[in-house]
């Protein structure tokens, strides 16, 4: 028994020495992450305590849980930051396999909410497999577009773009044509998006599709393909919206789930069902508008008192605007922009193409999610239920997010960038 323990211990030690990295991390990126986390916790408590008091009988119900998961997330972030990006390259098949398994098994498990398959209930907490799927798509994209980087296209990316900067840093122009790796990657993230959509999680499917497209862009796929397929996609979306509006008085088109069609109608027709489908969006707009330039002050929102539904979740940005005003909301947006920018800089200074694509993909995921969340809160797109990173309530998603930021910090340990 002792010899087996010694052998197991030696294997673990050898693996740790292979994948561990003790270089210095990027302090600026860490500071931005912690700043967003702290502001997010403050705003989540401010937005949630009336709802928690009324619905749960405890004003601190949500913040206690969120703070607990934030501590776990910070520990996970610091631990993961010591892993080399090579670890995630080796683990790519495992990550993708686990993601696919979770996306499938959710259909045979008891539903956490009637009609929705997106949650797995662990008893003490729940989590959404789509969170794992988003990470898996990024890891898979980084793997395919680093391992097969010389087989993607016959044309150099345009000067001044991120793909051209990646090529300049890590290996020069792309020289040989082969669509096999691209189709493999498209097949993977397309299957993930379809499964998430079948879970009645439209926003998650949209986000996974957008992340996949972003990874293809970073990998150097020709811009004309984005123009072609983007135009087709926009055209199809427009046709679906027109058809839904044309048949709105019927019992439904069966193109999308009933609640999805209602949200599209509610977005296109601002007078549609103001006490139902439009209620949350209208109340969020009232909150944003009433905040003015300087806001009402931290804790002074009126819309969070059972007007904005579950204000600690997807519509928390409207409460941010109401309490902190244009100035406060702009400051938070700038922090997110700096997070994405610093992540891209870290990626461009990574030692490997995989590390570059991994770091950039993770921060672009955050950027895309912020953009879509603010677009929903401001009624720029239909209400699809996308959370705001670091701000919206959700313990397991917060832990996952912080762990992903730890991966970016891990890439920074390997890079040539000044850390201070």
Q: Which position has the token pair 């991966």?
A: 407
The pLDDT of residue 127 is 80
Q: What is the DSSP letter of 111?
A: P
Q: Are 145 and 218 in contact (CB under 8 A)?
A: yes
The per-residue pLDDT for range 245-302, each reduced to its tens digit, is 666 555 555 555 556 667 777 666 677 777 777 888 888 899 999 988 999 999 899 9
The per-residue pLDDT for range 303-334, each reduced to its tens digit, is 999 888 888 888 999 999 999 999 999 999 99
The pLDDT of residue 179 is 63
Q: Are 80 and 401 in contact (CB under 8 A)?
A: no
Query: Which residues have CB under 8 Å from 331's CB, separation 6+?
Result: 324
Q: Are 311 and 377 in contact (CB under 8 A)?
A: no
Q: In the chain, which residues have pLDDT < 50?
A: 151-155, 172-177
The pLDDT of residue 173 is 43
The pLDDT of residue 175 is 39
First to last CA, the chain: 48
* Helical H segments across 178-309, by residue range: 180-198, 202-219, 223-246, 258-268, 279-291
**H or E segment and range at residue 305:** none
Give 88's Cβ-side CA count (13 Å radius): 33
Query: Which residues have CB under 8 Å from 248's CB, separation 6+?
Result: 265
The pLDDT of residue 393 is 92
The pLDDT of residue 155 is 46
The pLDDT of residue 394 is 87
Distance of CA 202 to the CA centre of its chain: 14
The pLDDT of residue 341 is 95
Query: In angstroms, what CA-CA distances link 323 with 39, 59, 114, 291, 292?
Result: 13, 18, 34, 6, 9
Residue 359: burial class (beta carbons within 10 Å; 0-12, 13-18, 19+): buried
């Amino acid at each position: 028994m002792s010899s087996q323990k010694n052998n197991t211990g030696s294997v673990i030690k050898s693996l740790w020495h292979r994948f561990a990295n003790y270089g210095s991390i990027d302090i600026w990126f860490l500071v931005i992450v912690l700043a967003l986390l702290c502001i997010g916790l403050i705003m989540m408590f401010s937005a949630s305590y009336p709802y928690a008091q009324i619905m749960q009988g405890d004003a601190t119900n949500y913040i206690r849980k969120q703070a607990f998961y934030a501590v776990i997330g910070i520990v996970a972030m610091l631990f993961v930051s010591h892993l080399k990006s090579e670890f995630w390259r080796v683990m790519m098949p495992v990550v993708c396999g686990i993601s696919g398994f979770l996306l499938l098994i959710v259909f045979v498990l008891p539903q956490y909410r009637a009609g929705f398959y997106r949650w797995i209930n662990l008893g003490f907490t729940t989590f959404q497999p789509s969170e794992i799927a988003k990470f898996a798509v990024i890891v898979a994209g980084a793997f395919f577009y680093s391992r097969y980087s010389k087989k993607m296209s016959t044309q150099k990316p345009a000067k001044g773009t991120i793909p051209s900067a990646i090529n300049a840093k890590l290996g020069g122009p792309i020289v040989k044509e082969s669509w096999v790796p691209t189709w493999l990657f498209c097949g993977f993230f397309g299957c993930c998006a379809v499964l998430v959509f079948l879970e009645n999680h439209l926003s998650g499917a949209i986000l996974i599709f957008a992340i996949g497209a972003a990874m293809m862009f970073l990998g150097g796929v020709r811009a004309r393909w984005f123009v072609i397929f983007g135009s087709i996609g926009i055209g199809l979306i427009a046709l679906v919206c027109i058809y839904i509006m044309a048949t709105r008085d019927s019992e439904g088109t069966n193109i999308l789930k009933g609640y999805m069609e209602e949200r599209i109608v509610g977005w296109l027709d601002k007078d549609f069902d103001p006490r139902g489908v439009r209620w949350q969006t209208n109340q969020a707009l009232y909150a944003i508008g009433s905040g003015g330039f300087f806001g009402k002050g931290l804790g002074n929102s009126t819309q969070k008192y059972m007007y904005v539904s579950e204000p600690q979740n997807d519509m928390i940005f409207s409460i941010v605007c109401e309490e902190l005003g244009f100035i406060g909301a702009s400051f938070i947006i700038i922090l997110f922009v700096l997070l994405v920018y610093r992540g891209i800089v870290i990626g461009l200074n990574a030692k490997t193409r995989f590390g570059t694509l991994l770091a950039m993909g993770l921060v672009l995921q955050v950027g895309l999610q912020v953009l879509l969340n603010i677009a929903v809160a401001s009624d720029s797109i239909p209400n699809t239920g996308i959370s705001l990173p670091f701000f919206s309530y959700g313990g397991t998603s917060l832990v996952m997010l912080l762990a992903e930021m730890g991966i970016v910090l891990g890439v920074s340990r390997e890079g040539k960038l000044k850390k201070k």
